[in-house]
Structure 1
Amino acid sequence: MDFFGLSIESIYLITLIVVGSITVLFILFGNGLIDVSDAGGVLNPTIILSFITIFSASGYLFEMFTPISSMLILLFSLLIALILVTILNVFILIPLSKAEESLVYSSNSLKGRVGKVITPIPLDGFGEVVLTDKSGTIAKSAVSFNQEEISEGVNVLVIDVQKGVLHVTPYEQSTHYKL
């Protein structure tokens, strides 16, 4: 069977080489690209590229080594690609995405935390605050919530986070408890 002057085997092979190369490049350099994978579900580029790669590889192998008709090979290849990509997604990609989420912090998780000023915060300017936790240390830009100067070494409470900048106020931790 021929399409556009090329045999079906050639089409499968060309597709395999091109999309397989793009898949490898995406896996290696995907973090530097715009993160389209946040769209989730079926629109994840890793899933789409893997599906096309597996489809073209199985189609090429079936065309080369079996006497089955091209239409049946197309259906088998689609089924094989669908099964393998589903397994890839369910057992590898979804667990990895959940593990990655557990290692990062969100802006909302920083609210209410106590940190220490490492670069003084001027009246109408930016300073820097370090927040230490069991999961690690985070240094972030900060401004005073009450528009007051905060000197280095002062403990501060994170009131809000806007555009990645902490809005903090001085915080004194009471060591005396009333019963």
Structure 2
Amino acid sequence: MEILGYSLQTIYLTGLVIGGVLTFLYILFGDLLDGMFELVPDGILNPTLVLSFVTFTSASGYLFEKISTISSLIIFLISIVLSLILVTMLHVFVLVPLSSAEESLVYRDDDLKGRIGKVIISIPEEGFGEVILEGMGGNIAMSARSFEEKPIPYETKVLVIDVKDSVLYVLPHEEMDFA
């Protein structure tokens, strides 16, 4: 079968190449394009899913046209259904977990209150030092001041009381023994 003088194999192959090139460009310039798609509500038009759909449809259509004798209309419908299934799986099993994993590494200043850290640069009376907070997602080293304006020596365990302008306000922490 031909459309506008081109065989369906040629059309599918052209769609596959264009989908692949656009996917590669989206990988390189995705952050720029994400800014342009901010006006569109989430979930309605995701460029990754659209490009994947075009690529999957073109690839499966080309392969079925090449290796089978099924009607071209049925091949097109099979390609559409197969692409919808693959894009849905890509979204559910890859993109959604990646987006939630990315968010889990983010912290706010308020999340640091009440955490225990260790002084890695001594904190003088009215100056700044540095404290490291260890966590499951990694270590966070931040500037710190003494909450009571008293010096805190190196390697002292401290409790974060407050956070202002990305500076921790800390007090020395004493371990309680409940035995």
Whether the TM-score (by the shorter chain) exceeds 0.5 is: yes
- Give 2:91's aligned residue: 89
Q: Unaligned 5+ residue runs, structure 2? A: none
Paired residues of 1:55 and 1:78 also in contact (CA < 8 A): yes
Letter matched to residue 14 of structure 2: I
Supply the distance in 2 between the matched residues of 1:7 and 1:124 (Cα, whole angstroms). 78
- Give 1:17's aligned residue: 17
Paired residues of 1:140 and 1:166 also in contact (CA < 8 A): no
Cα deviation 1:79-118 (Å, max 9, x = unaligned): 211012112333344345555655x352354331011121
Cα deviation 1:59-93 (Å, max 9, x = unaligned): 222333435144x4433322211012112333344
Letter matched to residue 15 of structure 2: T
* TM-superposed deviation, 1:53: 1.2
Supply the distance in 2 between the matched residues of 1:66 and 1:150 (Cα, whole angstroms). 83
Supply the distance in 1 between the matched residues of 2:123 and 2:50 (Cα, whole angstroms). 48
When normalised by structure 1's length, the TM-score is 0.65
* TM-superposed deviation, 1:41: 3.7
Supply the distance in 2 between the matched residues of 1:19 and 1:141 (Cα, whole angstroms). 45
1:5-154 alignment, distance < 5 Å: 6-23=6-23, 33=31, 36=34, 41=43, 43-64=45-66, 65-70=68-73, 72-98=74-100, 104=105, 106-107=107-108, 108-121=110-123, 127-133=129-135, 135=136, 137-144=138-145, 146=147, 148=149, 150-151=151-152, 152-154=154-156
Supply the distance in 2 between the matched residues of 1:137 and 1:126 (Cα, whole angstroms). 23
Supply the distance in 2 between the matched residues of 1:24 and 1:123 (Cα, whole angstroms). 55
- Which is further off, 119-128 or 77-86? 119-128
RMSD: 4.1
Letter matched to residue 2 of structure 1: I
Letter matched to residue 86 of structure 1: T
Cα deviation 1:10-60 (Å, max 9, x = unaligned): 232122123235546767x79x95695x98645444433322211111222
